[in-house]
Structures are given as C-alpha cells and as structure tokens.
Amino acid sequence: MKKTSIITLSAIVLSSIVVDLGFAGSAGIKAERNIPYVEKGHANQILNLYLPESPSEKPLPLIIWIHGGAWMGGSHSNPPILPLVSKGFAVASIQHRFSSHAIWPAQSYDCKAAVRFLRANAEKYNVDPDKFAIGGDSSGGHLAAFLGTTNGVEEMEGDLGTTGVSSDVQAVIDWFGPTDFTLMAKQSGPGSMIQHDAANSPESMLLGGPLQEKLELAKTANPLTYVDKQDPPFLIMHGDNDQLVPLGQSIILAKALIDTGAREVNMITLHGAGHEGPQFRTAESMKLIEEFLIRTLNVA
C-alpha cells in the first residue's frame, strides 16, 4: 500500500464549544488509579487506567496520555481525551519522575516502562497490544513525540520494570510539545513567557544544567534526532499564539517527518490558540483525534 504524508500548515479555526471532559468515575467510565508500572519503584511511576463500564467483547485500542507540566509538575488524574472512552477506546494516563527527581533520560525510561507494562498486561486489561497510541500536551507532547520517533531505539529504552516487551507505539498525538530545545529561544516571539536558555528554564532543569552547556544531552532528548521513515503516523496540534512553546517547534517536527517519508503526518495550526486553550478540547478536536486513531490503528 502506498504511504502518504499529509501536512496542513494553514490556520484552522475550530469551534469554541468546550467539551465537558468529566472526571474519573463519571458515567460510563470505570477507573483504576495509581497502578505501579515499576514494582517497588518511585512514587511517580504510576498510571491510571480508564475503561468503559460495560465490558467489551474484544480488546480495545489504547490511548496512552502523558500530561504537561514542564517535566517538573502536573497530574495524570484527568487526561483530556477521556471523552474517547465512550467511543470504544481505553485510556491510560501516566505519571513520570519530574526533573527534580531525576534528569533526562529518566523521563524516557519511565514512559517506555509504562508502555511495556501495559503491553505485557494487555490481556488482563482487555486492550489490544497492537493498537497503542501515545499522546500528550506540552512537555507530555514532547515525550509522546519522543516515544513515537524512538520505536526500537535501544539506548533510550532503559531497563525499568517489565522488560523483554516492546515499547513501540502505533500512532502519536502531539499537542504543542517542544522538540529541539536549542532553538526555543530563537523561535520565541517578543511575548514569550519563558527565557528558554536561562539556567532555570524548564529545558535546563530537565537536562540538569544550562541548556546551551548541555547540547549533547539536548540532542538525545530531541525527537528529530531519531526521525525515520518507519515512524508511526503523527497528529500534531499547536496554537499560533503559544507564548510558552513556539509554533516553530511543531513545524520543524512535521517537516522532518515528511522529509524522511513518514507514513502520515497531520499538522493542525489552531488560529488564535495559546498554550492549552479551549480550542484543543472542543467536540471538533475530539472528533479529529477519533478519526485519526480509527484510521491509523485500523479500528473496525
């Protein structure tokens, strides 16, 4: 089958009707919270799993979500894609060690360990091990994109928790994630709320020192470093008024994926949207994600 690449860089305005995301335990959703994915691991090496209350007769495609928080905070308690549980998906929301606990690549090791745990326990949780999507927002978007481009990259795998199981993912949803940290300051506009090259920037804290003094380590954290034509399909969404993560970070990722012949690349620029913002959580946005996953995961 011919592989295609799709990119939309023009501004797309989505409706401002906000989806009621609900919460764990809301009607139609059952939740199992704070499941350790590393036995006797760090307190943050946990995940929540959300499934339809009515058991499915067949294994469900799984969306694994990584929250934002500049790699230094944030909660896995209420992932924005929970509405898709009612559409026949399972959702796992993972926590990881923050930069105050451990510097890069600890966060890669944690996220990959969570994916391996979920795949090893696919039968227990009634999820399809061949239909894993990874997604995230902001720093979580960075980690989702990173996992997508490092399928099979042994040096970024780590040996935490369950081993001998693949951490590969079959689709990626990246909401306004950083990619090349070294370009963040250059790409930022006059309204930027972060001095990205400062010693106390989120990127510097993740790397354990001033960003421009950690260029080799920064390269290992850059999803573009690992891009190749075998990468899974990507859906990238970013606002053109983002004053925390420049839009250019997503553009260079989309371009790199397309240039290397990746199977499918969809970039949606949300006109007027800032960092987060209601445009990402609309009914239209959820429908866009649902259709992307149905197509790329071959959901019947």
Task: Give pLDDT tens digits for 51-62.
Answer: 999 989 999 999
Question: Distance (Å, rounded) from C-alpha 270 to C-alpha 272?
Answer: 6
pLDDT at residue 276 in the model? 87
Arithmetic mean of pLDDT, 139-156: 98
Block residue for tokens 């059952």: 30
Model confidence band, residue 27 (pLDDT cutoffs 50, 70, 90)? confident
237-269 pLDDT, tens digit per residue, is 999 999 999 999 999 999 999 999 999 999 999
Question: Distance (Å, rounded) from C-alpha 20 to C-alpha 41?
Answer: 34
Residue 69 pLDDT > 50, yes or no?
A: yes
Model confidence band, residue 11 (pLDDT cutoffs 50, 70, 90)? very low
- Residue 91 main-chain phi, psi, to 5 deg: -130, 130
Q: Please tell me which residue, 29 or 9, carries the higher pLDDT value.
A: 29
pLDDT at residue 234 in the model? 98
Distance of CA 66 to the CA centre of its chain: 5
pLDDT at residue 21 in the model? 35
Q: Domain 11-296: state its class.
A: alpha beta
Joined together, the tokens standing for residue 100 give 């105050």
pLDDT at residue 10 in the model? 34
| Domain residue extents for the chain | 11-296
pLDDT at residue 26 in the model? 64
Q: How many beta carbons lie within 10 A of that of residue 100, not counting itself?
A: 10
Arithmetic mean of pLDDT, 177-206: 95
CB 270 within 8 A of CB 277: yes
pLDDT at residue 284 in the model? 95
Arithmetic mean of pLDDT, 202-224: 98
Residue 31 pLDDT > 60, yes or no?
A: yes
- Long-range contacts, stretch 22-27, CB < 8 angstroms, 24+ apart: 22/82, 22/83, 23/78, 23/82, 24/48, 24/50, 24/77, 24/78, 24/82, 26/82, 27/53
